[in-house]
Amino acid sequence: MKYPFIAPSLLSADFSHFAAAVSDIEASGAEWVHLDVMDGKFVPNLTFGPKLAADLRPQSTAFFDVHLMVYEPDNLAIAFAQAGADCITFHTEAVVHSHRLLMCIRGLGKKAGISMVPSTPVSGIIELLPFVDLVLVMTVDPGFGGQELIPPCLEKIKTLVQIREQGQYGFLISVDGGIHASTAPLVREAGADVLVTGSAFFNAQDKAALVRCLKGMET
């Protein structure tokens, strides 16, 4: 039985206590820290920049999974790489030369990810799949935590699993948006390798129990 990695999102943390939030993530048994970066243009919300990753980096050995929801992400991708991010994912809808940016991120020694909003089909990123380490399937319209998962997006996970097998590719499939105890089984069954969780994680009283539940382990 292969359990998915869990990636709690700092978007739902108390923004006045980011270091405590990272400590809570590490103590819960979750493997990754998901950093949602928003520019107020690509999505109607603003969060934080690379300084947060740089300041948190000395305090944590967790895998820093940066999700750039910004137009023209090239400079920010480089800045997050320098700040100690482990994986940097950007949106195909926000970039013309996606392949160039993926190569740039890999050239900096980081994992490179591509993401798509719910209205973008898998066919929109298919040419990029040989060059990515992670595909981030958005299951809500990005911008805010606490939204409901859009069920048809689950089909994209299944499609990506098939394409990965056929093409012998190595990318991970991460799923982001509306994941909680009730929806996690659907996402796992579809074949996700990484489950991002924002509001469910930070609202949970017993975070370790929530992480085991999302992974599908006995609690």
Q: Which of 24, 28, 65, 67 binds Zn ion (CB under 5 A)?
A: 67
Tell which one of 4, 50, 177, 191 touches ligand DX5 (CB under 6 A): 177
The single residue among 24, 39, 176, 193 that binds Zn ion, judged by CB under 5 A, is 176
What are the residues facing 39 on neighbouring strands?
Answer: 46
Burial of 128 (0-12, 13-18, 19+ CB in 10 A): middle
Give the interface segment with Zn ion, choosing from 19-27, 48-56, 152-160, 168-176 (CB under 5 A). Answer: 168-176
Binding status of residue 178 toward ligand DX5 by CB under 6 A: yes
176 catalytic residue (yes or no): yes
Q: Which tokens belong to 104?
A: 């740039």
The tokens describing 14, both together, are 């108390």
The b-or-e profile of 186-208 (16+ CB within 10 A means b, else e) is: bbbebbbbbbbbbbbbbebeebe
**Smaller CB distance to ligand DX5: residue 167 or 185?**
185
Q: Which residues of 103-115 are buried (b: 16+ CB within 10 A; e: fewer)?
A: ebbeeeebbbbbb
Of 4, 5, 6, 11, the one binding ligand DX5 (CB under 6 A) is 11
DSSP 141: -
Q: Considering the rule CB under 5 A, would residue 36 count as an interface residue with Zn ion? A: yes
Binding site for Zn ion (CB under 5 A): 36, 67, 176
Binding site for ligand DX5 (CB under 6 A): 9, 11-12, 34, 36, 67, 140, 142-143, 145-147, 176-179, 196-200
Q: Which residues are catalytic?
A: 36, 176
